[in-house]
Structure 1
Amino acid sequence: MRFSHVAAFRAVMLSGSMTMAAHELNTSQPNVSRLITQLEKDTGLKLFSRMAGRLQATPEAHAFYRDVERAYVGLADLEQSAQTIRKLGTGHLRVGAVPSMGLTVLPGIMRDFAAVHPAVRISVHFGDSVTVAQWTASRFCDIGITSYISDAIGVEADLALKMDGVCIVPPKHRLARRRTPLQPKDLAGEPFISLSHGDRRHIDSVFTRGGEDKRDLAHECQYAAVICSMVGNGMGLSIVNPIVADFYKHTGISVHEFEPSIQFMSYILTPLRYAKSELTSEFSAMIKNHISDALGLI
């Protein structure tokens, strides 16, 4: 029994005519008749008879049709399932993020995304840029948000935004009253709290340019959000992502422009050689919009 035989039978049952069925199937009436004859042979059932020149479905045909319709409902469900997967992926979005983004803009992105796709479950995993890139390359995460790209293999990187870093100082510090951009010489002898990942390399290079680094490298921390709290408690000064500084102004920090420019990046990573689902593409667009909005409010 072939699908074409069953399709012809269903078309005849729905239209009540082999001619109309042929039109629906974009074929000829003799071909539909031949398919029905073959189906009757395969099933051993008499499906149609002619009475007064009109085609009549037999009781066996009506009984068989009920099962055919159940099969078609199943096929329709499979087709709908395929469309859903094609559009939304598996209905589960796994996001990897560095804490600087995960603790600031990511919750707002998730809120807005969930409002549009309430049935989609989101899993969030925090790690440094290297770890997030590895998670994305292995497809443990569908999308990653990182601060820099090392030697990431197996990911496609999209630069979401470049931001000039800001210098943060304790609220009662002598530099808190400055209205002009701070410079490396202003931080000479000051206790400095360093990031403990890839972002610190381009920060350190500014202070070693043309001479000795005169900062007091007092402390180190992996998370810029914690550094903001440390600075707010008077433990030192630092240079951080401006979005993080803005989100953590409640710690009491004083935020200042810094020269020369130290740029902080945000990258969106997706697995290489795999087509993006609509969910991933939509989430990526929301990341860019939220980062831009957050920077515009600073």
Structure 2
Amino acid sequence: MIRVRQLEVLCAVIDLGTTSGAAEALSVSQPAVSNMIRHIEDLVGFPLFKREKGRLTPTPEALHIAQEAQHLFSQQKRVDRIIDQLRGGTVGQLNVIATPSIGYALLPRMIAEFTRSRPRVQLSLEVGSVDEIIQHLISGRADLGFSITSPRHSALSVRPMAAGDMVCACPPDHELAHARSINLLDLNHVRHISYGSGTPLGQMIDEVYSRHGTERRYFCEVRHTSTALEMVAAGAGVALVDSFALMGRARQDVSVRAIQPALSVTLHGVTSNLYPTSHVALQFQEFMREALSDPELPHRVEIT
């Protein structure tokens, strides 16, 4: 069987007419080229060149082989380009799933920035609960997950991506919108949208109330901060939301205030240990981490 390197030597001799010229072009010795041509002729079982006055004239059979070899060289170059693109993360398939506070505002903005220089990356974006993130990753339906709550599963790798805070979102004309910061306990005295005690955010907030010897009171229970944020924008009341839910777009329908005591949250990037993580997925995860650590980027939210 003729190898690709042998075909390269054959084509070089045909193009340049001498073994010395081919040797110089291929950065090998002239005897090595001559031996290679003889070996190829032994393999195919018929002459490929006529030797005339120091030049090699290719036979019609040699020209036919060389013509077919050009298709192979073109395919090889295409494969090399694809490998370079995959190495650079400019092509590939990226399947992402995130919790709503990440998936509705921040993540679309990050994806748009990431793919601006990678137009050939094929994307799939889903929004789901932490349990759905786990199932998508361990089944191979997603390459990356993003969540405020750290998923707990032995088959997953969880990486802290960025630090955030719980903040108070208010309608712009609400009385609390005029305060510099808001005491968490004061939310019991206004129409308050919050999370069930069985949710991670609800449990975190309940711990604060418990330390002060009281219970949290709210008029509307939701599961996700994105839902609470939309209710605030509609004027239904105030709500604690994670700061990541406010990134990605400017909102004129919501005022944001810091809370006391402060409650920190962390955005986690999640991958599966059951499947190799693609290069483009790793690149996007690192892109997210770097973007979220840059205070100058336009997706940051100003908290007063």
Could you tell me the TM-score, scaled by structure 1's length? 0.83
Paired amino acid for 1:55: L
1:295 to 282, 295, 300: 300
1:104-119 aligned within 5 A: 104-119=105-120
Question: What amino acid is the match of 1:62?
Answer: L
Which whole-Å CA distance do the structure 2 matches of 1:11 and 1:200 have between them? 72
Q: Which residue of 2 aligns with 1:101?
A: 102
Q: CA deviation at 1:260?
A: 1.0
Q: List per-residue Cα deviations over 1:25-72 (Å, max 9, x = no partner).
A: 454433433332232233233211222233222233222221222222
Alignment equivalent of 1:211, drawn from 206, 210, 213: 213
Q: Deviations over 1:73-116 (max 9, x none)?
A: 22222222333333337532212111112122222222223322
CA shift, 1:126, in A, is 0.3
Q: Does 1:229 align with 2:243?
A: no
Letter in 1 for 2:112: R
* Cα separation, 2, equivalents of 1:120 and 1:26: 38
Q: 1:189 to 1:53 in 2, by over 3 A?
A: closer
Q: Are residues 1:53 and 2:58 paired? A: no
Structure 2 gap segments, 5+ residues each: none
* Equivalent residue runs for 1:64-75 within 5 Å: 64-75=65-76
Q: Number of aligned pairs? A: 295
**Counterpart contact for 1:147–1:199, Cα < 8 Å:** no
Aligned to 2:185: 185
CA deviation map 1:165-206 (0-9, x unaligned): 112345565544433x32243234555322353222212211
In 2, are the aligned partners of 1:168 and 1:245 still within 8 Å (CA)? no
Counterparts of 2:193 and 2:250, CA distance in 1: 16
In structure 2, the CA distance between the partners of 1:22 and 1:140, relative to structure 1 (3 Å rule), is same
> What is the CA deviation profile of residues 112-142 of structure 1, one whole-angstrom value per residue up to 9, with x for unaligned ones?
2332222222211001234224423443222
- 1:223–1:288 distance in 2 versus 1, CA, 3 Å: farther
Shift of 1:11: 2.8
2:12 aligns with 11
Going from structure 1 to structure 2, the CA distance change for 1:250 and 1:222 (only over 3 Å counts) comes to farther
* Letter of the structure 1 residue corresponding to residue 193 of structure 2: I
Q: In 2, Cα distance between the equivalents of 1:65 and 1:187?
A: 80
